[in-house]
């Protein structure tokens, strides 16, 4: 485990990494379902806060594994077994999501996180033994991960009123560990590999959104016998939204941006950490569409505006964050932000329309048309790129 070559040709995600993603999506699905239930019960602030905190543990565990694997994955027997332990931790974490949401019970989710993080600390120690040139960095990672994990376990001993401030402190400590560790030297992560890993997780989260919305809309059609025009608008709008969210994210290849920022810590961390909002909003969109389906069939007492905001707010957060961290660094003209700002304002206003999902889908589709037209005018033929960052083969 001496470190991979960051310029290695044809570096792609491994089957083990794809298996990890599929197991993490179980936790994503649990968090999305819990948010749906909280919104349907009109527990807006409560549901949004707990969703944000629970999703942080899922995203942070996935991200730490991803960046480590990009730098040090030897794909040998000890590594595979350690990663399988991490997968076990992710499934334990998923099993505790509902209890954390409904009752604030952090025991199971913390134990799952502890299994994940203990395995990760062991991998960092192994890397430190095998990579003398980066030993300070790897040992800092191991120490930081271990210290934070002790903090999370200690949090279980605090009274309920003191837990939220403790969670905030620990989240801050967690996000500072990579900054502190890599100030001693950067790990040999691979720009193209990292870009592909983030792209694949984006696809998985969008897929979970489509699945959650499909189940909810199907149930709503069954309850209304398929006669409601508003349900057709919801189904069509949700489909347009999924298509447009995918198109916008893949409008520019991330690996070229990461390659140019390989030594620029601030921009790299902004891109990596900013994806928390990309993933969170994409997962929340499925819950929002399901909540609006419940509203249309009278299964919830929330107002039409509140139901509409459950659709439009996640879409706005996704749009703004994708532009800010993923597309804006590629832009060369000062006014390229204008269509995104107009679309974001229109989407937020769509909460007051009779068909918020359809209006949101149409606005996002219009933005896709503008972005694609500008790409073709300014850069020649361009369009969505596959997970490797290259234009699709026709």
DSSP assignment string, 45-72:
HHHHHHHHHHHHHHHHHHHHHHHHHHHH
Q: Is the pLDDT of residue 265 over 80?
A: no
Q: Confidence class of residue 222 from pLDDT cuts 50, 70 and 90?
A: confident
Please tell me the number of Cα atoms within 13 Å of 36 on its side-chain side. 24
Instruction: Please give the pLDDT value at position 260.
Output: 64
**What's the pLDDT tens digit per position in 125-138?**
999 999 999 999 99
Q: Would you say residue 102 has pLDDT above 90?
A: no
Task: Collect all residues with Cβ–Cβ distance below 8 Å to 119 and sequence separation of at least 6.
Answer: 82, 83, 85, 86, 89
Check: CB of residue 291 under 8 Å from CB of residue 36: yes
Residue 227 reports pLDDT greater than 60: no
- How high is the pLDDT of residue 379? 53
Is there a contact between 4 and 380 (Cβ–Cβ < 8 Å)?
Answer: no
pLDDT value, residue 378: 66
Q: What is the pTM of this model?
A: 0.88
d(CA 53, CA 81): 29
Q: What is the pLDDT of residue 264?
A: 52
Which residues are CB-neighbours of 176 under 8 A, at least 6 positions away? none
Mean pLDDT of 352-378: 90
Residue 220 has pLDDT above 50, yes or no: yes
C-alpha separations of 234 from 48, 146, 286, 300, 335 in Å: 22, 46, 12, 16, 32
What is the distance between the alpha carbons of residues 47 and 40, in angstroms, rounded to a whole number? 10
Confidence of residue 104 (pLDDT cuts 50, 70, 90): confident
Over 60: is that where the pLDDT of 382 sits?
Answer: no
Q: How far is CA 282 from CA 98, 320, 383, in A?
A: 19, 12, 21
The pLDDT assigned to 209 comes to: 85
Q: What percent of the chain has pLDDT over 70?
A: 91
Confidence band (pLDDT; 50, 70, 90) for 47?
Answer: confident
Instruction: Give residue 389's pLDDT band: very low, low, confident or very high (50, 70, 90).
Output: very low
Predicted confidence (pLDDT) at residue 380 exceeds the cutoff of 60: no
Residues 222 and 236: their CA atoms lie apart, in Å, by 17
Question: Sign of dihedral through CA atoms 156, 158, 164, 166?
Answer: negative
pLDDT-based confidence at residue 211 (cuts at 50, 70, 90) = confident
- Backbone torsions φ then ψ of 156, nearest 5 degrees: -65, -20
With 50 as the cut, is the pLDDT of residue 172 above it?
yes
Given a contact cutoff of 8 angstroms between Cβ atoms, the answer to whether 63 and 272 are in contact is: yes
pLDDT at position 334: 65
When the pLDDT of each residue in the chain is averaged and rounded to a whole number, the result is 87
Which pLDDT band holds residue 321 (cuts at 50, 70, 90)? very high
Share of the chain above pLDDT 90, in %: 52
pLDDT at 154: 92
Task: Give mean pLDDT, residues 67-93.
Answer: 94
Per-residue pLDDT, 327: 82
Name which of 161-175, 255-269, 291-305, 333-347 the model is least confident about: 255-269
- Paired tokens of 30: 């649990």
State the pLDDT confidence band at 300, using cuts at 50, 70 and 90. confident
Burial per residue of 355-390, b for 16 or more beta-carbon CB atoms within 10 angstroms, e otherwise: bbbbbbbbbbbebbeebbebeeeeeeebeebebbbe
């Amino acid at each position: 485990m001496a470190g991979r070559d960051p310029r290695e040709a044809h570096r792609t995600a491994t089957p083990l990494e794809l298996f990890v993603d599929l197991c993490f999506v179980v936790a994503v699905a649990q968090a999305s379902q819990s948010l749906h239930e909280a919104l349907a019960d009109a527990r807006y602030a409560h549901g949004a806060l707990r969703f944000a905190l629970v999703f942080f543990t899922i995203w942070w565990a996935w991200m730490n594994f991803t960046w480590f694997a990009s730098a040090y994955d030897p794909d040998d027997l000890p590594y595979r077994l350690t990663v399988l332990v991490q997968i076990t931790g992710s499934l334990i974490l998923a099993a505790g999501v509902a209890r954390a949401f409904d009752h604030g019970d952090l025991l199971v989710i913390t134990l799952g996180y502890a299994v994940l993080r203990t395995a990760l600390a062991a991998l960092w120690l192994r890397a430190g033994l095998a990579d003398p040139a980066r030993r300070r960095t790897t040992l800092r990672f191991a120490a930081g991960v271990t210290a934070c994990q002790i903090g999370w376990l200690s949090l279980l001993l605090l009274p309920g009123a003191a837990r939220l401030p403790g969670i905030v402190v620990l989240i801050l400590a967690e996000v500072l560990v990579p900054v502190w560790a890599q100030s001693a030297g950067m790990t040999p992560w691979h720009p193209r590999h990292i870009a592909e890993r983030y792209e694949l997780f984006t696809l998985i989260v969008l897929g979970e959104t489509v699945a959650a919305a499909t189940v909810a809309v199907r149930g709503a059609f069954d309850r209304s016998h398929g006669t409601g025009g508003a349900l057709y608008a919801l189904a069509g709008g949700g489909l347009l939204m999924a298509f447009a969210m995918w198109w916008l994210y893949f409008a520019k290849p991330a690996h070229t941006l990461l390659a140019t920022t390989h030594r620029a810590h601030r921009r790299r961390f902004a891109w990596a950490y900013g994806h928390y909002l990309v993933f969170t909003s994409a997962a929340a969109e499925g819950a929002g569409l399901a909540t609006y389906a419940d509203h249309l069939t009278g299964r919830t007492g929330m107002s039409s505006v509140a139901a509409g905001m459950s659709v439009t707010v996640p879409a706005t957060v996704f749009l703004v964050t994708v532009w800010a961290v993923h597309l804006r660094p590629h832009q060369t003209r000062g006014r390229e932000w204008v269509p995104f700002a107009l679309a974001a304002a229109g989407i937020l206003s769509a909460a007051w329309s009779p068909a918020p999902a359809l209006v949101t889908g149409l606005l996002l589709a219009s933005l896709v048309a503008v972005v694609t037209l500008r790409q073709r005018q300014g850069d020649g033929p361009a369009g969505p790129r596959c997970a490797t960052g290259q234009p699709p083969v026709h």
